[in-house]
Structure formats: structure tokens, C-alpha cells
Amino acid sequence: MASRVRGTKESDFLDKIPPGLALSMILMRENLKKSMIETMTKTADTQHNSPKSRNSVRNDCEGHACPDCGRIYKLKSSLRNHQKWECGKDPQFKCSFCSYKAKQKMHMVRHMERMHRDIDYSAAKTEVLISNENSQSD
């Protein structure tokens, strides 16, 4: 063969490997090539056949794909949320403590719990209560 492995002929390389291991390595390489070709073919087919309608695409191994951006979701409800709140839209929730922005309120809540849990929110809660009382008395 004309292929080379680290500057030597493949047969020279395989002569240095124990016989039982050499066959396994060759079979693994061939299986890897085959799976890579299948994956590339499948990806090319998916890209060329993607629908332009707002309906989700259900494929057993792929889930529900957004027809606009191609993101894939396991649940159809997650795709609907993505289309309603995220796809092509700017983030509408901004963190008051850092530069983080989120497209969904739940993502902001999760960010606050994970990143700012040590911050004392009592002053903010008091401010909210006072503003609510003032708006009710008006």
C-alpha cells in the first residue's frame, strides 16, 4: 500500500505490533472510515432535504428540528418554546448584576441561582414590596 504511518510503510508499522492487535487495529480503522462516510452522507442528505415550512421534522434519531435555524429538540414543546421566544429574537431578560442576557425567563432564574446565589436580595425584595404598596394605595 502507498499509505504511510509516521514516515514508514504501513506493513512495516504493522510488523512491530503483536499479531492479534494488528488485525483489531485494521478492523477498527475500516469501521471508523465506514461510520464517518455514513455520517457525512446522512448530514448531507439532511441539509439538502430540510423543509422550509413551520412544521417540525420528526426523525427517530434526530428529534424535532427548527425549520429556520436547524436546532434540534427532543421534545416538540421545546421546539415550540424555541420558536416562540428564541429563534431570531434578541434576549429580553438582562441580569442586574452582570452582563448576562437571556431569551427565556427560566434561563435568567437559573443564572441567578447558579451565579449570584451569594448576593443578598433582601434590599431588592423590600424595594419591590414598597413599590407594590405604593401602587395599591394610588
From CA 80, how far away is CA 85, in angstroms rounded?
Answer: 9
Tell me: do 137 and 107 sit in the same domain.
yes
Tell me: do 58 and 84 sit in the same domain.
yes
Tell me: do 94 and 138 sit in the same domain.
yes
Q: Burial of 138 by CB count in 10 Å (0-12 exposed, 13-18 middle, 19+ buried)?
A: exposed
Give the tens place of pLDDT for each residue, 46-77.
655 554 444 444 445 568 999 999 899 999 99
Number of structural domains in the chain: 3
Helix, strand or coil, per DSSP, at residue 26: helix
| Alpha helix positions (H), 3-56 | 10-15, 19-48
Tell me: do 132 and 99 sit in the same domain.
yes
pLDDT of residue 97: 87
Tell me: do 57 and 15 sit in the same domain.
no
* pTM beyond cutoff 0.75: no
Q: What's the grid cell of residue 123? A: 434590599
Tell me: do 79 and 67 sit in the same domain.
yes
pLDDT of residue 51: 47
Tell me: do 79 and 101 sit in the same domain.
no
Tell me: do 106 and 137 sit in the same domain.
yes
From CA 131, how far away is CA 67, in angstroms rounded?
Answer: 44
Task: Give me the domain span that covers residue 24.
Answer: 4-48
